[in-house]
Amino acid sequence: MTVNRGLNAAYSVTEQRRGWHVHGLALLVTAGSFLLFLSALVLLVVGPELSEWVTGRSRSSLLGFLLYRGVRWTIICLVVFLNSLLIYWLAPSVRQKWSSLWLGSLLATAAWVAISFGLRYYVVNFGRYNEVYGALGGVIVLMLWPYLNGVVLLMGGKINSVVYLAQRTAEPIGNEQAAGIEP
């Protein structure tokens, strides 16, 4: 519901759909996003061990390199891109073309990767949450990551809303104006 309200505010529209429709979509998007981010988190944690296991079974160093370096993050980024594309299409109360949603989804995915790497780098090198907060340190980091993901999601939605509003207000240029002839 919060994403619906945030994206409706970004598009400057009021909700026109029925309550059961909005709540059903919100539940569906929440469940899908939860499963997506859970699978992405599991893939990030288990991915290196899984790639070592597959490499050990196949005895191919090239396969191990591809699995460890590129395929895991490519799959994660593709899933995040498709999830954000679906959210940007379903959540706001406007009808849009898929082609106008890719820019916000692409930038949101890039920002998500940057935030994930940046937060990981900070926690590993600078963050000493356990020294200050004890066992609560992990909970603090775990709460910070979804918050930053929400910020990135709304940022991509705002970018899509700007593209949508620009396309909607753009006047088509007639042949006379394109040729520089005054009507």
Annotate 132-152 with DSSP letters as a single string: HHTTHHHHHHHHHHHHHHHHH
Structural contact between residues 83 and 108, judged by C-beta atoms closer than 8 angstroms:
no
Helix extents (H) in the chain = 2-11, 19-58, 61-66, 72-90, 102-125, 129-133, 136-169, 175-178
- pLDDT at residue 142 in the model: 78
Residues of the chain with confidence (pLDDT) below 70: 1, 51, 60-70, 127-130, 132, 171-183
Is 42 exposed, middle or buried, given 0-12, 13-18 or 19+ CB atoms closer than 10 A? exposed
The string of pLDDT tens digits covering residues 94-133 is 888 877 888 999 999 999 999 988 888 877 777 666 676 7
- pLDDT at residue 175 in the model: 54
Place of tokens 């959210």: 87
Place of tokens 């692409």: 106
Structural contact between residues 25 and 4, judged by C-beta atoms closer than 8 angstroms:
yes
Using CA atoms, how far apart are residues 100 and 167, in angstroms rounded to an integer? 9
Using CA atoms, how far apart are residues 53 and 31, in angstroms rounded to an integer? 30
